[in-house]
């Protein structure tokens, strides 16, 4: 039985408790949330981004055309342009199966072009079945200028192609096609269905832009002269201003990122969906497969200054240097930044913390109201994590970002993780977590776990499932919360769980107590949590019964979890010649009775809770 005492005061739950974590992984930005339909619009794809790329990736040439990198370029940050021969054309294939257009909807084309002797561009939308919109003609003359045309789709197609043909020689760059309809109809906006799915969660915050994306490359030179080089770190200043001046870059996840979805757009999205923006800046120590820390003090100082400038970009008056940059982009009012993360999953806790302290001191001196969030490194359940936490505690950090990806059973077993966290220590930002899968049982295990987060809402202040988005044809990481391709998007079970929690955030925890043995009654086919109960050191006298009440497994185990865990999986002998086994790949626990084929049983688990837990 569960006893609830409505008069007791549990922890207050912040409205911002549950949020989302957006990282440009799985083509979450270009070919995803960023509504641009043209892939490789500025001809900047490079083998440095991905071994299979060329500057003409996603483009087909009719006649003569070559990508040129010379002083005739559009600007210093947009190195390549297309030199198109007289009577030639180029055709873009977009993402996935092609450019998606919907009958009756409008699409805005734009291109930067140069044709000293003048030329006429014919711009068309078509698929293999024929035309998708009336072609448009654009007269080009003289040096670089931006030209525009609008289409209304006459048919719906998932396989559209954008073609640009030129009567005379012309140079082209930044060839773009946007649906007129974007989320909240913002310019340079977001794909409506994806943004609406995010908005429907009613997230309390948006953590961005990563993830591993944040620190990687942060030790590289990023002087202005190097800003077209690949594998620079993700620098917020590279991602603002006119899109044709945002130098594209290699993405940590193995593709090119246009930065069309940049810091201004992240802040705007957060505002549009009523969420707190929570940017993460590089700490100049890498994790994510690299273990390096910079000794370049000047570089560190520059990143610290960039972080101060970022706060000014978000919050400063329109008269300040960076506030002016924000106002120029269309947002004179501040974005109300209150929290900022420094670093992501650093594997060198001491090196990280020494640098974190410098960031924190500089931010505190200028912006004492900003909460600076530190990191715990990857949750390796070992020394890195423990050392990081110790340093964070000793250093009186406000909040620590934790990350972990584990089996559903782990999430069930560790519901009490935060019950014992030091209430006087730093608060927790659970910046990334997910059980390994998008199945129903994964959502369920996360829901169970989230009750533990909520019970500890006095210490766990923010939590976000990760990653948020995945284009099904370009996946680097799974599971993910929202899936999509060029024509549709769909929610995972995990999404529904997040939505349930985010749209029903309570004000205060009502303390409750389980006064009898936990009874996972009802069918738990596939034994969700069976091994959880059984292996948890918190339980003795475990009994597993089938639906008809016959005992399949029982033992007191004397609280010796090791008897059960072993490798954490495997077979255990039980009565009647049956045995319980966890499938190593799926972590589904099944019962079989001398039959090698897996069978689903309705299982009921009873266990005595050990005292003291």
Rule CB under 6 A: say whether 346 interacts with ligand AHR.
no
Stretch that binds ligand AHR, among 209-217, 240-248, 329-337, 483-491 (CB under 6 A): 209-217
Choose the binding region for ligand AHR from 69-77, 174-182, 206-214, 346-354 (rule: CB under 6 A). Answer: 206-214
Six token digits for residue 347: 């594997």
382, two tokens? 């070992």
CB atoms closer than 10 angstroms to residue 221: 12
- Closest CA relative to residue 434, chosen from 462, 463, 466, 473: 466
Window 366-405: residues binding ligand AHR (CB under 6 A): 403
Q: How far apart are CA 396 and CA 418, in angstroms?
A: 18
Which residue in the set 88, 344, 471, 535 belongs to the binding site for ligand AHR (CB under 6 A)? 344
Considering only CA atoms, which of 256, 261, 186 is closest in space to residue 42?
Answer: 256
345 is an active site residue: yes
Given the complex with ligand AHR, which of 211 and 526 has the nearer CB atom? Answer: 211
Among 44, 432, 540, 587, binds ligand AHR (CB under 6 A): 432
Q: Binding to ligand AHR by residue 147, rule CB under 6 A?
A: no
Does position 212 interact with ligand AHR (CB under 6 A)? The reply is yes
- 95 has which bridge partners? 98
Rounded Cα gap, residues 344 and 169, in angstroms: 48
25 vs 450, beta carbon nearer ligand AHR:
25
3-state secondary structure of 148: strand
Name the minimum Å distance from CB 159 to ligand AHR: 31
As measured in angstroms, the least distance from the Cβ of 214 to ligand AHR is 8
Using an 8 Å Cβ cutoff, are 80 and 69 in contact? yes
| 326 touches ligand AHR (CB under 6 A) | no
CA distances from 325 to 94, 186, 225, 302, 333 (A): 31, 18, 21, 19, 12
**Residue of the chain from 260, 467, 479, 526 that contacts ligand AHR (CB under 6 A):** 467
Exposure class string for 441-468: b at 16+ Cβ within 10 A, else e: bbbbbbbbbbebbbbbbbbbbbbbbbbb
- Per the residue annotation, which of 345, 346, 402, 587 is the catalytic one? 345
Among the listed ranges 58-66, 207-215, 447-455, 533-541, the one in contact with ligand AHR (CB under 6 A) is 207-215
* Closest separation in Å from C-beta 225 to ligand AHR: 29
Q: CA-CA-CA-CA torsion for 236, 33, 215, 352, nearest 10 degrees? A: 100
Q: Which of 430, 466, 520, 553 binds ligand AHR (CB under 6 A)?
A: 466
Judged by CB under 6 A, which of 22, 23, 107, 166 binds ligand AHR?
23
Least distance to ligand AHR, CB of residue 405, Å: 7
Cβ atoms 197, 11 nearer than 8 A? no
Alpha helices per DSSP H over 346-439: 349-366, 383-394, 408-413
DSSP 77: T
Applying CB under 6 A, the span of 73-81, 208-216, 308-316, 385-393 interacting with ligand AHR comes to 208-216
Residue with smaller CB distance to ligand AHR, 344 or 376: 344
Cis peptide bond upstream of 265, omega within 30: no
Given a contact cutoff of 8 angstroms between Cβ atoms, the answer to whether 80 and 70 are in contact is: no
DSSP letters spanning 14-25: -TTSEEEE--S-
Among 186, 477, 568, 570, binds ligand AHR (CB under 6 A): 477
- Paired tokens of 514: 């389980």
| Residue 324 C-beta: closest distance to ligand AHR, Å | 32
With CB under 6 A as the rule, give the number of residues binding ligand AHR: 12
Q: From the CB of 345, what's the least distance to ligand AHR, in Å?
A: 5
CB of 476 to ligand AHR, least distance (A): 8
Take residue 458 and report the two structure tokens written for it: 């006095």
32 scored as a contact of ligand AHR (CB under 6 A): no
Minimum CB distance to ligand AHR smaller for 348 or for 466: 466
Q: What does the binding site for ligand AHR look like in residue numbers (CB under 6 A)?
A: 23, 25, 210-212, 344-345, 403, 432, 466-467, 477
Q: Catalytic residues, which ones?
A: 345
């Amino acid at each position: 039985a569960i006893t609830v005492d409505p008069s007791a005061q549990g922890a207050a739950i912040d409205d911002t408790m549950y949020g989302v974590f957006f990282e440009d992984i799985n083509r979450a930005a270009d070919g995803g949330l960023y509504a641009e339909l043209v892939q490789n619009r500025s001809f900047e794809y490079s083998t440095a981004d991905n071994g299979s790329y060329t500057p003409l990736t996603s483009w087909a040439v009719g006649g003569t055309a070559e990508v040129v990198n010379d002083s005739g370029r559009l600007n210093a940050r947009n190195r390549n342009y297309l030199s198109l021969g007289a009577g030639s054309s180029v055709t873009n294939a977009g993402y996935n199966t092609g450019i998606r257009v919907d009958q009756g909807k409008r699409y805005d084309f734009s291109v930067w072009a140069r044709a000293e002797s003048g030329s006429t561009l014919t711009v068309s939308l078509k698929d293999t079945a024929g035309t998708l919109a009336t072609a448009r003609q654009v007269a080009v003359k003289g040096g670089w200028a931006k030209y525009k045309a609008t289409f209304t789709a006459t048919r719906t197609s998932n396989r559209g192609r954008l073609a640009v043909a030129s009567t005379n020689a012309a140079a082209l760059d930044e060839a773009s096609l946007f649906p007129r309809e974007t989320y909240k109809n913002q310019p340079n906006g977001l794909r409506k269905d994806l943004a609406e799915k995010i908005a429907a969660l009613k997230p309390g915050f948006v953590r961005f832009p990563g993830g591993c994306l944040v620190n990687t490359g942060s030790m590289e030179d990023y002087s202005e002269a190097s800003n077209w080089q690949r594998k620079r770190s993700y620098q917020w200043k590279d991602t603002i201003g006119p899109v044709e001046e945002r130098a594209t870059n290699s993405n940590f996840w193995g593709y090119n990122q246009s930065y069309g979805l940049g810091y201004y757009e992240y802040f705007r999205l957060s505002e549009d969906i009523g969420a707190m923006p929570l940017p993460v800046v590089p700490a100049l120590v890498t994790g994510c497969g690299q273990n390096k820390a910079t000794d370049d003090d000047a570089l560190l100082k520059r990143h610290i200054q960039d972080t101060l400038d970022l706060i000014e970009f978000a919050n400063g008056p329109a008269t300040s240097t960076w506030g002016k940059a924000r106002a120029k982009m269309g947002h004179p009012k501040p974005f109300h930044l209150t929290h900022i993360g420094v670093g992501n999953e650093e594997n060198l806790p001491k090196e990280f913390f020494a640098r974190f302290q410098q960031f924190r001191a500089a931010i505190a001196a200028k912006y004492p109201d900003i909460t600076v969030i530190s990191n715990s490194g990857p949750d390796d359940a070992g020394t890195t994590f423990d050392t990081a936490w110790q340093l964070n505690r000793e250093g009186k950090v406000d909040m620590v970002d934790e990350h972990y990806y584990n089996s559903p059973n782990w999430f069930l077993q560790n519901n009490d993780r935060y019950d014992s966290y030091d209430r006087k220590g730093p608060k927790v930002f659970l910046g990334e977590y997910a059980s390994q899968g998008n199945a129903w049982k994964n959502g369920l295990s996360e829901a169970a776990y989230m009750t533990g987060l909520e019970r500890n809402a006095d210490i766990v202040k923010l939590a976000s499932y990760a990653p948020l988005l995945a284009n099904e044809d370009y996946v680097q990481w799974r599971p993910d919360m929202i899936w999509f391709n060029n024509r549709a998007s769909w929610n995972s079970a995990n999404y529904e769980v997040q939505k349930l929690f985010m749209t029903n955030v309570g004000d205060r925890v009502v303390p409750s107590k389980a006064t009898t043995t936990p009874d996972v009654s009802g069918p738990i086919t596939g034994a969700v949590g069976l091994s959880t109960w059984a292996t948890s050191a918190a339980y003795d006298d475990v009994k597993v019964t089938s639906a008809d009440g016959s005992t399949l497994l029982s033992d007191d185990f004397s609280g010796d979890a090791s008897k059960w865990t072993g490798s954490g999986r495997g077979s255990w002998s039980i009565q009647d010649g049956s045995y319980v086994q966890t499938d190593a790949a799926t972590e589904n626990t099944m019962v079989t009775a001398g039959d090698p084929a897996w069978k689903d049983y309705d299982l009921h688990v009873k266990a005595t809770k050990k005292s003291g837990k």
